[in-house]
Structure 1
Amino acid sequence: MPKDGKPDEPRNARGASGRGSSASSGRDGSAASGRGGSRPAGKGGAGKGPAAKGGRTRPTANVVSPQRPWGLIAAAIAVVVFAGAVLTYAVLQVRESEANEAGDPGDIAGVQTYEYAAGQEHVTSVVDYAESPPVGGPHEPAPGWADCTGTVYDVDIRHENAVHSLEHGAVWITYDPEVLSEDDVSTLADLVDGENGRMMSPYVGLDAPISIQSWNHQLKVDSVDDERLEQFADLLTLNGDYYPEVGASCQNPDFIASPRLAAEDAAPTAEGGAAETEAAAG
């Protein structure tokens, strides 16, 4: 027994007490430590960890290519085509209206009118025409007309063949090749090229820069820019009121292939004038 009178604690009791206290302290510390440390760990793990970033995936978007509006495109094309047709019709109507404004060849200033009757004589000889270029009278027999389907000749064609074309309703534009420039000739050709019922050729010895004629009508001008040229051509090309053989053909491919030339003729052997109306078939 110790000197203070208190009995000594058993050794194993002290050890147990120390261990118990230590264990209790350890549990409390572990628990506290666990509680205190689990919250930050939980927050960090739930909000910022790699698992959180990879946990949600964005759904794959379906890429759809835009479709061409073929219906609208087709409709637009149809509108353009229709507008072009309307414009073309309007232009033709204006041209016809401008031609009809003259009404009569005599309404075009400067037009000379003649009186060659239908049924002129057919001849194979050279004709001494009263007018130059001629506007009617005896002429080459069938099929001897010059092609007049919008034909531009670069040679002085035989006049007897040209007059036969006038009888079929053609308008014939002639020019002095010594006076007109290449550009002037090209401008004249625009009135003829591709226009059925028209033809054009140089005319050696012409007494004016340009002369345009149909059956019984003629106009001479100084410039290719004279608007009366187009008025004359529009009014009298294949105009059934002003030529004898309505409906006769202007087509003659053989003449295009091998045109007869005025230079082939020697001295004239037949006379033709406004009073000459000898009948002939065709």
Structure 2
Amino acid sequence: MAKDRKPATGNGRPAGKRAPAGKGGRTRPAANVVAPQRPWGLIAAAVAVVVFAAAVITYAVIQVNRSKEDEVQSIDEIDGVQTFDYAAGQEHVTTEVDYTESPPVGGPHDGNWADCTGTVYDVDIRHENAVHGLEHGAVWITYNPDRVSDGDIAKLADLVEGENGRMLSPYAGLDSPISLQSWNHQLKVDSADDIRIEQFADFLTFRAGEFPEPGASCENPAFAADPLTEADSSTPIGPSDMPTAPTPSADPTETSAP
């Protein structure tokens, strides 16, 4: 009798027979192993942003510190400033005043003030009117036209124009190239590049406690349009005000002998 044969499978092999290793049959494909990629481009961009921001902040801090180096907290910090003692209560006069200081820094003055709203004059304005502007808290910058250049005048004008509480004018016979005045204060310098000019102007323009009439106006457009000069007599021009009430220090005090 013929031997029983195991039924053949669909691949021609007897049932139960495995395909020889490596031949035929299905095998799993080899897995592709991909190494994780670091986002170097993003990291570099982030580092660049941080470095740039740090540079900007550092620059800003340096600039602020430099600007503060020139700031003053007391008039004593500005070398060369002279201080005087004109008390509130100076009278209004229509006559010419023989001032002790030149340019003057206080004392009797005209009832009309020179406009001091950042005004740049090209004439030697009448001194009695200018002193009234000082009484209102203005800084008056003067220069000897024979001892400064046009460029120097332009630098001074840049410090005055558009700044309420300041005025600039030539001053005939000035004994220094440039002189700055506020009520009871004066500073004379040789150069328009002197840092003390800006320090004086910044510190004393409308400086509380340093002038007799806080809150008084510097506006006198009529005077700005047609200023009185040092050669002119007193002429009513623009607004006026009442003299400030004298302070106790305005009059000399007497002490009794013990």
Q: Taking structure 2 as the reference length, what is the TM-score of the superposition?
A: 0.64
Q: Cα gap change, 1:265/1:237 in structure 2, threshold over 3 Å: closer, same or farther?
A: same
* 2:97 is the alignment partner of 1:127: yes
Matched residue, 2:88: 118
Counterpart Cα distance in 1 of 2:65 and 2:122: 32
How far the C-alpha of 1:94 sits from its partner, in A, is: 7.8
Q: Cα gap change, 1:98/1:138 in structure 2, threshold over 3 Å: closer, same or farther?
A: farther
Matched residue, 1:213: 181
* 2:205 is the alignment partner of 1:259: no
The aligned amino acid for 1:177 is P
Matched residue, 1:230: 198
* 2:74 is the alignment partner of 1:104: yes
* 2:154 is the alignment partner of 1:154: no
Q: CA RMSD in A?
A: 2.4
> How many pairs are equivalent?
178
Counterpart Cα distance in 1 of 2:151 and 2:250: 40
Q: Secondary structure at the residue paired with 1:165?
A: helix
- Which structure is higher in helix share? 1
Counterpart Cα distance in 2 of 1:98 and 1:236: 18
Counterpart Cα distance in 2 of 1:125 and 1:197: 25
How far the C-alpha of 1:265 sits from its partner, in A, is: 4.9
Could you list the per-position Cα deviations for residues 116-140 of structure 1 after superposition, in whole angstroms to 9, with x for gaps in the alignment? 0011011010000000000000000
* 2:125 is the alignment partner of 1:193: no
Counterpart Cα distance in 2 of 1:204 and 1:241: 31
How far the C-alpha of 1:106 sits from its partner, in A, is: 2.0
Counterpart Cα distance in 2 of 1:93 and 1:247: 32
The aligned amino acid for 1:181 is S
Counterpart Cα distance in 1 of 2:69 and 2:129: 31
Q: Which deviates the most, 256-265 or 242-251?
A: 256-265
Q: Secondary structure at the residue paired with 1:132?
A: coil
How far the C-alpha of 1:181 sits from its partner, in A, is: 1.1
Q: Cα gap change, 1:94/1:234 in structure 2, threshold over 3 Å: closer, same or farther?
A: farther
Matched residue, 1:84: none
* 2:107 is the alignment partner of 1:137: yes
Could you list the per-position Cα deviations for residues 69-126 of structure 1 after superposition, in whole angstroms to 9, with x for gaps in the alignment? xxxxxxxxxxxxxxxxxx9xxx99986x556x42221220000000000110110100
How far the C-alpha of 1:277 sits from its partner, in A, is: 4.4
Q: Which deviates the most, 178-187 or 209-218?
A: 178-187
Q: Secondary structure at the residue paired with 2:103?
A: coil
Please say if residues 150 and 198 of structure 1, whose CA atoms lie closer than 8 Å, have aligned partners that are also in contact.
Answer: yes
1:180 to 141, 145, 148: 148
Structure 2 portions without partners, runs of 5+:
1-59, 235-248, 252-258
* 2:132 is the alignment partner of 1:164: yes
How far the C-alpha of 1:216 sits from its partner, in A, is: 0.2
Q: Cα gap change, 1:166/1:125 in structure 2, threshold over 3 Å: closer, same or farther?
A: same
After the TM superposition, which parts of structure 1 deviate over 4 Å for at least 4 consecutive aligned residues? 91-95
Please say if residues 106 and 113 of structure 1, whose CA atoms lie closer than 8 Å, have aligned partners that are also in contact.
Answer: no
**Identity within the alignment, %:** 65
